[in-house]
Amino acid sequence: MDADEAKGETYEEEHVHVVYEQIASHFSSTRYKPWPIIERFLRELPDGAIGLDVGCGNGKYLAVNPDIFIIGSDRSSNLASIAKRHPPHSVVVADILYLPHPSRAFDFAISIAVVHHLSTSWRRVEAIESILQTLRSGGKALIYVWALEQESSRRGWTEQDEQDVMVPWVMRGSRKAAHAGEAGGGEDRTFHRYYHLYRKGELERDVQLAGGEVVEAGYEKDNWWVVATLRTVV
């Protein structure tokens, strides 16, 4: 059986969406420092630029530049509620494959640590295409995904490792809850999220397949990233 066959939307619902919904608040408390390349990308945009943050999580990139306008979206309504606290920006709940935005309308888009949660190769390409389709001519998308090659990280994966993995998220039980005798409150709980770890060159290939053109690409702290535009059809 094709490994991809068993995956798809239902699989992601169980191994990605439900997990983020449950860990939203704890996850958010650990995500506050913007990564430098992303921060620079957002700061260098001209005042008044309008764009998207697809899979905005807790909205940490909505706090970077108040002179542009970002519509953030996330699949998790719990994360979207946390993300909405960043004026002048806005947040909606949406699926990356069904974005509720006009096509060819935006100056930029970012999608940080999102595309690697889609569980088939075809769905990842479709996700990137969905982002690129929102860009107007000359508009740029910055996309980050987790890398397979991260020998120096505590996970220690190398290019010989399996690319489709379940990554644990441990939510420490609070001592206070245990003391108060709340059911399950005192115990650690481990959740597993599905990731597709990208190999060197794979993100660029997916961008090509999605009808995009790679403007810039690189590796930063266990992640592959690209800046891409929508290829214009002549």
Which positions lie near other proteins, rule CB under 8 A?
Answer: 9, 47-48, 50, 66-67, 69, 71, 73, 75, 77, 80-81, 84, 87-88, 90-95, 97-103, 105-106
Instruction: Kindly give the pairing relationship between strand 223-230 and strand 212-220.
Output: antiparallel
| Residue closer to other proteins, measured from CB, 75 or 116 | 75
Do residues 225 and 141 touch, judged by C-beta distance below 8 A?
no
Look at residues 225, 230, 209 and name the one whose alpha carbon lies nearest to residue 120: 209
| Residue closer to other proteins, measured from CB, 75 or 117 | 75
How far apart are CB 181 and other proteins at their closest, in Å?
A: 31
168 forms beta bridges with 192
| Residue closer to other proteins, measured from CB, 98 or 156 | 98
In angstroms, rounded to a whole number, what is the distance separating the alpha carbons of residues 56 and 37? 16
| Residue closer to other proteins, measured from CB, 84 or 205 | 84
How far apart are CB 166 and other proteins at their closest, in Å?
A: 24
Do residues 52 and 72 touch, judged by C-beta distance below 8 A?
yes
How far apart are CB 97 and other proteins at their closest, in Å?
A: 8
| Residue closer to other proteins, measured from CB, 77 or 174 | 77
In angstroms, rounded to a whole number, what is the distance separating the alpha carbons of residues 101 and 172? 38
In angstroms, rounded to a whole number, what is the distance separating the alpha carbons of residues 107 and 69? 10
Residue 229 neighbours by CB under 8 Å, 6+ apart: 132, 135, 138, 139, 140, 141, 212, 213, 215
How far apart are CB 61 and other proteins at their closest, in Å?
A: 17
- The Cα angle at residue 39 between residues 228 and 69, in degrees rounded to 5: 80
| Residue closer to other proteins, measured from CB, 123 or 202 | 123
How far apart are CB 99 and other proteins at their closest, in Å?
A: 7
How far apart are CB 57 and other proteins at their closest, in Å?
A: 14
